[in-house]
Structures are given as C-alpha cells and as structure tokens.
Amino acid sequence: MLQWEIAAHAVNQIALMVLNETGLRTAFHPHCGGFVETPEELAVLMEATHPRILGLCLDTGQYAYGGGDPLQLVRRYADRIWHVHLKGYDSDVASAARFEGWDYQEAISHGVFCDLERSTFGFREL
C-alpha cells in the first residue's frame, strides 16, 4: 500500500502546484495500461487525494474497458468529475480481447473503442 500512498501524494502535490501557479484545476484521467485502470484502483486514488485539489476526467470508453460502469462512476464521484471524454465502447470486442489475450493496441485495432452510436454502453442514462 505504500506505493499507492506515494503515488497519491505525488499526484496531489502536482495538482496543487498547477492550481497555485496557474489557477487551473487538474482532472485525473484513468487509462487502460496505466497505473490507475480499474474501478478499485481509482477508488484508492480518489480516497487518498483531496477532492478540491484533484478532480476526475470521466473517459467512458477507458473506464468501461478497465472493468467499470461509467454510470456508477458518475453516481459515486459526480462532484469530482471536472472533465468528460465521451468514447464509444464495444463490449463484444473487449470480451474477445480478454479471451484471445490481445494487448491494448490489438484491442484498439479491433475496434474496442468505437463510434458513440455503436457503443454497447448506453449514453442516455449518463
């Protein structure tokens, strides 16, 4: 857990420096293949950082591919979502990627992220 404490402290400090020096708020963008990918990892980061210093970028496709439900994320962190990146997500391609053992780039080449109208995630509820 020490690794998470160090990472959260660093992210919080960087966001605070950006805020103090520029007046801009920092929105963390969870991403597949990154340090924070899954809902569980994001929860640890959000709990360990200050809600007025670090916000969240909701990337619907990345969050879904990381195993999360974007609607649940909105319900849990609505006050910390400072930026939204709407991205279509094809759950059938994601399932194939997991079954076949594709890496991230291969999943992208097969269309795991798609046009919004083809997305298996419903944007109406969001």
According to CATH, the topology of domain 2-118 is TIM Barrel (3.20.20)
User: Region 67-86: what's the mean pLDDT?
Assistant: 96
Q: From its phi and psi, is residue 20 left (phi > 0), alpha (psi between -120 and 50) or beta?
A: alpha
> In one letter, which amino acid is 117?
E
Q: What separation in angstroms does the CA of 121 have from each of 64, 88, 92?
A: 8, 7, 11
Instruction: Report the pLDDT value the prediction gives residue 95, as an integer from 0 to 100.
Output: 96
More confident residue, 45 or 123: 45
Instruction: Report the pLDDT value the prediction gives residue 98, as an integer from 0 to 100.
Output: 94
Mean model confidence pLDDT for the chain: 93
Instruction: Report the pLDDT value the prediction gives residue 24, as an integer from 0 to 100.
Output: 97
Q: Report domain extents, the chain.
A: 2-118
Q: Is the pTM of this model over 0.75?
A: yes
Q: How confident is the model at residue 1 (pLDDT cuts 50, 70, 90)?
A: low
More confident residue, 126 or 78: 78
Q: How confident is the model at residue 122 (pLDDT cuts 50, 70, 90)?
A: confident
Instruction: Report the pLDDT value the prediction gives residue 14, as an integer from 0 to 100.
Output: 97
Instruction: Report the pLDDT value the prediction gives residue 114, as an integer from 0 to 100.
Output: 94
CA pair distance 68, 57, nearest whole angstrom: 14
Closest by CA position to 72, among listed 121, 8, 12, 28:
121
Report helix angle 39-48 to 70-77, nearest 10: 10
Q: What is the pLDDT of residues 52-65, one digit of tens each?
A: 999 999 999 999 99
Environment class of residue 55 by beta-carbon count within 10 Å: exposed (0-12), middle (13-18) or buried (19+)? Answer: buried
